[in-house]
Amino acid sequence: MSFKFFSALLLASSLWACSQNISETPTNTTTAEKDAGVVNLYSSRHYDTDLALYDNFTSQTGIEVNRIEAKADALIERIKSEGEFSPADLLITVDAGVLWRAETAGILQPVSSDILETRVPESFQHPDGLWYGLSKRARVIIYNKDNGKPENLESYKDLANPLHKGKVCMRSSGNIYNISLLASMIANENEEAAQNWAEGVVANFARKPQSNDSGQIEAVASGQCGISIVNTYYLARYARSDEAQKKEIFDSLGIIFPNQDGRGTHVNISGAGVTTHAPNRENAVKFLEYLTSKEAQNYFANGNNEYPVITNANTSSAVETLGTFKEDSLNVSALGKYQADAVKIFDQAGWR
């Protein structure tokens, strides 16, 4: 490769990165930097509490964590664009459906680690070791307690019951949380069942799909709608808030963990994988293993109200106060496998 071509490639990559509004940009790692100990992290997690994770890892190992943050799809495209010259060592993102996008983009390499395979339950790791779950969240049903618990509302299927017509609020069909939920229904049942569910929920809408999970929480609390589904860490934020209004909102809500008489509540993950051309592969694996340690799992749980992915973390975060529940044992890699089918079904059902 000529010097001119290599220079042009680096310049193009730099210009592309600037256009993505990425906060910090590690450069390609030199031999000296490798010897000093670095790991270059590309993360779509936007939680300030994660900074403590990085600082603690550095204090324990001496390995510096360089990071950039952006939306997941932008990071995936960037790593693809950078190709073999990418400085990225590790991609961390939210939702198994997004990890599947990274997988199909060919930017992750398999990792075999006894530590990871022992700590992370099989349902939260890629079958070929392309990524591992780091934390999890459940998708639950909420209702306004002032109106009493709605009858015939114990499962996700019940959201499509005509008894709840005009009561259901939802996020858009393009939201990855909803896509993954529907993908889990396809994986556990079939496309026909998923189609019937989506059409039934659309028929029960109280308003057009809009806003985020916080918006659904506040809409149910205010009476704009009677029922919705949200991720548990959003609820825990309201539960532990110092703002009286948010505490009141949380106290007004009833919570149902769906499918307790069946396959269990839908659970999704934050996860990470080592990139295909990771220049600091050994450090990336060390960091990935650290993220599944009890200490790091407590950061995830107590810092961002997520459930630990390991079984013996002994955390005490606000999310634990929501109650215990049976979770779906489906390997979350299936959420990506059926993602395209879920999108098609949402479109056919008129869920926008």
Predicted TM-score (pTM) of the model is: 0.88
Give the separation between CA 190 and CA 17, rounded to whole angstroms: 41
Give the separation between CA 254 and CA 64, rounded to whole angstroms: 44
- Tell me 48's DSSP state: T
Q: Show the DSSP H helices in 128-271 as ranges.
A: 176-188, 191-203, 213-222, 232-239, 244-251
Mean pLDDT of 100-121: 98
pLDDT at 278: 98
Domains assigned to the chain = 28-136+268-314 (3.40.190.10), 137-266+333-349 (3.40.190.10)
Q: Are 188 and 258 in contact (CB under 8 A)?
A: no
Give the separation between CA 123 and CA 156, rounded to whole angstroms: 21
Percent of the chain past pLDDT 90, that is, above it, reads 83
Give the separation between CA 27 and CA 289, rounded to whole angstroms: 24
pLDDT in tens, 173-192: 999 999 999 999 999 999 99
pLDDT band at 313 (very low <50, low <70, confident <90, very high): confident
Q: Token digits for 240?
A: 């532990």
Give the separation between CA 160 and CA 312, rounded to whole angstroms: 37
What's the residue count for the chain? Answer: 352
pLDDT in tens, 58-91: 999 999 999 999 999 999 999 999 999 999 999 9
Is residue 142 over pLDDT 80?
yes
Work out the burial of residue 217: count CB atoms within 10 Å of its CB; fewer than 13 is exposed, 13-18 middle, 19 or more buried: buried
| pLDDT top residue among 300 and 25 | 300
Q: Are 119 and 310 in contact (CB under 8 A)?
A: yes
